[in-house]
């Protein structure tokens, strides 16, 4: 198996290679095979990409919103036409089952391109009347060159969630994928050019954290949007602050999902499965602390075990497979260590808990019951298929425990009591909340975290505010009054 892109980087409308950069081997997680070799960007490549983005920006911003939007919407159409091909590449990159990538990756990227393409023509300022005929008008302006830095779990989606609003507002972008999943963003760049994006509007450079750091500190860059872990977020936010750059931080979580004893058990189990095992658990907003009210605890666990036994674990390219490998050997080993922590700290293992034999990076979907708040598996983000089930008695108790975390990305509640559902959601310290569902992230809705889970929001009309700024113009219709 091999999937070698034409070159490592995409700059100024074309593929660019510089083999003097540190090698990046692309490993197919299902087999451990190296399927491509790319190279990390050298300082010369980073410079070339930033120059291309800087040079292209003013002409791109000078197009009408309708013209920019048309290009984004055309790119969305191309992505949808090539969904299968793009989904296979996403599966090579991440190991996620094709059954998932066909519906959740290029399609989600296309949604963002279409949504922000549609908004581009309606981005305006306002007119503010003042006394005596004076008035102010505001002009919504692009920020300039934006840097996008991605995590490895949703490489196509992240490349589009950042690129689409940035470009809609008249910015240009240099995007750096995670070195674990460098393939998909190149496809996005190629498609944008095919859709009519001028050269230099959307560039991709590969690299490790040092390349990301050099992008973040460059004075040509006006804004940084990162999807990654909290420790990386801290570093990137601090580096961006030094240059007074705008930021969006989409970081990690340890989100609670609360199941009351009046909940529909089947739906609650479905929510817990979606919120812990989709993408083999490698989803930032996962509800990994599942608080189940004592009255239904055993019924919930029994049904969960029955449903887990039907998971189809195997070749991600087989469309029947619905649970694939971890993205990398490294991530698999991190998760295995957490599973050992859970066992050592006395949680009750009720499902999985082992690596699956073979060359691929497969873990069993794993559930621990009788987890308590202080255990490592209940406090730290694992980013793998490990669910912790915790018991609770009362609403007040579970509310306090759910919020007792430094993270605040997402939170969910399953109950048939409508008033209680809204009361609980009002109390959640989290950016994205769910009532009787979990982990849906439509482009129309703001997505992002509170507390240590992030700053700013992606998607929805709110993303426009994070990729543009207002210029205020005061217009006097009167003589100027001066004190002397
Ligand atoms: P990392 O934080 O390790 O890396 C994120 C990106 O930042 C990578 O491209 C990485 O490059 C780059 N990077 C690392 N160090 C620096 C630096 N000093 N300056 C600039 N860039 C840097 O995250 P992972 O890739 O391991 O992804 C998993 C994390 O992402 C989880 O914590 C998860 O919760 C979070 N996440 C959040 C989402 C959200 O929307 N809130 C969605 C998806 C994931 P390299 O990989 O080469 O080191």
Q: What is the 3-state secondary structure (H, E, C) of 28-42?
A: ECCCCEEEEEEECCC
Under 8 Å between Cβ of 146 and 166 = yes
Ligand 1 lined by 229 (C-beta under 6 Å): yes
Phi and psi at residue 421, to the nearest 5°: -55, -45
- Which residue has the least CA distance to atom 25 on ligand 1? 151
CA 151 to ligand 1: nearest atom: 25
Prediction pTM value: 0.97
For 292, 312, 367, 448, the CA distances from 309, given in Å and listed in that order, are 20, 9, 12, 33
- Residue 160 and residue 78: Cα distance in Å, rounded? 13
CA 216 to ligand 1: nearest atom: 20
Q: How many angstroms is it from 229 CA to the middle of ligand 1?
A: 5
458 is a catalytic site residue:
yes
CB neighbours of residue 42 within 10 Å: 18
- Residue 128 and residue 449: Cα distance in Å, rounded? 33
Q: How many angstroms is it from 152 CA to the middle of ligand 1?
A: 7
Ligand 1 lined by 252 (C-beta under 6 Å): yes
Helix (H) or strand (E) holding 137: strand 135-142
DSSP string of 372-432? -TTSHHHHS---SSEEEEEEE--HHHHHHHHH-SSEESEEEEE-S-HHHHHHHHHH---SE
Which pair of tokens denotes residue 256?
């609670």
**Which sign, positive or negative, has the C-alpha torsion 358, 285, 435, 110?**
negative
CB neighbours of residue 11 within 10 Å: 25
Ligand 1 lined by 153 (C-beta under 6 Å): yes
Ligand 1 lined by 293 (C-beta under 6 Å): no
Displacement of CA 57 from its chain's centroid (Å): 25
Q: How many angstroms is it from 28 CA to the middle of ligand 1?
A: 19
Ligand 1 lined by 366 (C-beta under 6 Å): no
For 133, 298, 323, the CA distances from 319, given in Å and listed in that order, are 66, 33, 11
What local confidence, expressed as pLDDT, does residue 1 receive? 72
Specify the pairing of strand 221-227 against strand 289-293: unpaired
What local confidence, expressed as pLDDT, does residue 2 receive? 80
Displacement of CA 425 from its chain's centroid (Å): 22
CA 177 to ligand 1: nearest atom: 9
- Which residue has the least CA distance to atom 48 on ligand 1? 209
For 5, 62, 122, 442, 458, the CA distances from 66, given in Å and listed in that order, are 32, 11, 8, 23, 22
Q: How many angstroms is it from 232 CA to the middle of ligand 1?
A: 6
Q: Which of 90, 100, 114, 250 is catalytic?
A: 250
Pocket test for ligand 1, best of 152, 154, 176, 209 (most atoms within 8 A of CB): 209
Ligand 1 lined by 213 (C-beta under 6 Å): yes
Ligand 1 lined by 148 (C-beta under 6 Å): no
Q: How many angstroms is it from 228 CA to the middle of ligand 1?
A: 3
284 is a catalytic site residue:
yes
Under 8 Å between Cβ of 383 and 227 = no
CA 331 to ligand 1: nearest atom: 26
22 is a catalytic site residue:
no
For the chain, 484 residues long, give each residue's pLDDT as a single digit of tens.
788 999 999 999 999 999 999 999 999 999 999 999 999 999 999 999 999 999 999 999 999 999 999 999 999 999 999 999 999 999 999 999 999 999 999 999 999 999 999 999 999 999 999 999 999 999 999 999 999 999 999 999 999 999 999 999 999 999 999 999 999 999 999 999 999 999 999 999 999 999 999 999 999 999 999 999 999 999 999 999 999 999 999 999 999 999 999 999 999 999 999 999 999 999 999 999 999 999 999 999 999 999 999 999 999 999 999 999 999 999 999 999 999 999 999 999 999 999 999 999 999 999 999 999 999 999 999 999 999 999 999 999 999 999 999 999 999 999 999 999 999 999 999 999 999 999 999 999 999 999 999 999 999 999 999 999 999 999 999 999 999 9
CA 231 to ligand 1: nearest atom: 2
Ligand 1 lined by 228 (C-beta under 6 Å): yes
Pocket test for ligand 1, best of 209, 224, 228, 254 (most atoms within 8 A of CB): 228
DSSP assignment, residue 345?
A: T
Ligand 1 lined by 227 (C-beta under 6 Å): yes
Specify the pairing of strand 33-39 against strand 23-28: antiparallel
Q: How many angstroms is it from 320 CA to the middle of ligand 1?
A: 30
DSSP assignment, residue 447?
A: B
Ligand 1 lined by 179 (C-beta under 6 Å): yes
Phi and psi at residue 48, to the nearest 5°: -60, -45
Q: How many angstroms is it from 239 CA to the middle of ligand 1?
A: 15
Dmax over Cα atoms in the chain, in whole Å? 86
Helix 184-194 × helix 155-168 angle, to 10° = 40
Ligand 1 lined by 446 (C-beta under 6 Å): no
- Residue 345 and residue 371: Cα distance in Å, rounded? 9
**Which sign, positive or negative, has the C-alpha torsion 155, 176, 159, 222?**
positive
**Which sign, positive or negative, has the C-alpha torsion 305, 360, 35, 320?**
negative
Ligand 1 lined by 178 (C-beta under 6 Å): yes
162 is a catalytic site residue:
yes
- Residue 141 and residue 127: Cα distance in Å, rounded? 15
- Which residue has the least CA distance to atom 16 on ligand 1? 209
């Amino acid at each position: 198996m091999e999937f070698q892109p034409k070159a490592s980087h995409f700059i100024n409308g074309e593929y660019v290679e510089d083999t003097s950069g540190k090698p990046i081997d692309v490993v197919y997680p299902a087999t451990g095979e190296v399927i491509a070799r790319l190279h990390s960007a050298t300082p010369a490549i980073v410079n070339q990409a930033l120059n291309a983005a800087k040079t292209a920006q003013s002409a791109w911003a000078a197009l009408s919103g309708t013209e920019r939007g048309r290009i984004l919407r055309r790119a969305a159409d191309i992505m949808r036409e090539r969904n299968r091909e793009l989904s296979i590449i996403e599966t090579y990159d991440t190991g996620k089952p094709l059954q998932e990538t066909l519906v959740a990756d290029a399609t989600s990227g296309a949604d963002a391109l279409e949504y922000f393409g549609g908004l581009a023509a309606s981005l305006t300022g306002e007119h503010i009347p003042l006394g005596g005929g004076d008035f102010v008008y505001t002009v919504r302006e692009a920020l300039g060159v934006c840097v996008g830095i991605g995590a490895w779990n949703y490489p196509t989606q992240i490349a589009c969630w950042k690129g689409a609003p940035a470009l809609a507002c008249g910015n240009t972008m240099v995007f750096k994928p995670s070195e674990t999943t460098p393939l998909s963003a190149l496809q996005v760049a190629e498609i944008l050019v095919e859709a009519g994006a001028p050269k230099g509007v959307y560039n991709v450079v590969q690299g490790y954290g040092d390349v990301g750091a050099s992008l973040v500190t460059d004075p040509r860059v006006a804004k940084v949007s990162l999807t990654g872990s909290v420790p990386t977020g801290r570093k990137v936010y601090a580096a961006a602050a030094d240059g007074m750059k705008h930021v969006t931080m989409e970081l990690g979580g340890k989100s609670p999902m609360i199941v009351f004893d009046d909940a529909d058990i089947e739906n609650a189990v479905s929510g817990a499965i979606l919120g812990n095992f989709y993408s083999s658990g490698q989803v930032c907003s996962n509800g990994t602390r599942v608080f189940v009210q004592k009255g239904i605890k055993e019924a919930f666990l029994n049904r969960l075990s029955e449903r887990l036994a039907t998971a189809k674990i195997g070749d991600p390219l087989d469309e029947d497979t619905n649970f694939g490998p971890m993205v990398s050997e490294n991530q698999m080993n991190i998760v295995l260590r957490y599973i050992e922590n859970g066992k050592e700290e006395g949680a009750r293992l009720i499902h999985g808990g082992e690596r699956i034999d073979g060359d691929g990076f497969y873990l069993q979907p794993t559930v621990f019951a009788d987890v308590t708040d202080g255990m490592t598996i209940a406090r730290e983000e694992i980013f793998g298929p490990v669910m912790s089930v915790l018991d609770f008695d009362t609403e007040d108790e579970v509310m306090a425990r759910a919020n007792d975390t430094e993270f605040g990305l997402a939170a969910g509640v399953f109950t048939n009591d409508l008033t209680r559902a809204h009361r609980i959601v009002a109390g959640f310290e989290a950016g994205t909340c769910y009532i009787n569902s979990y982990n849906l992230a439509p482009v129309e809705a703001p997505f992002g975290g509170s507390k240590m889970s992030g700053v700013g929001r992606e998607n929805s009309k709110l993303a426009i505010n994070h990729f543009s700024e207002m210029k205020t113009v005061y217009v006097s219709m009167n003589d100027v009054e001066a004190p002397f």
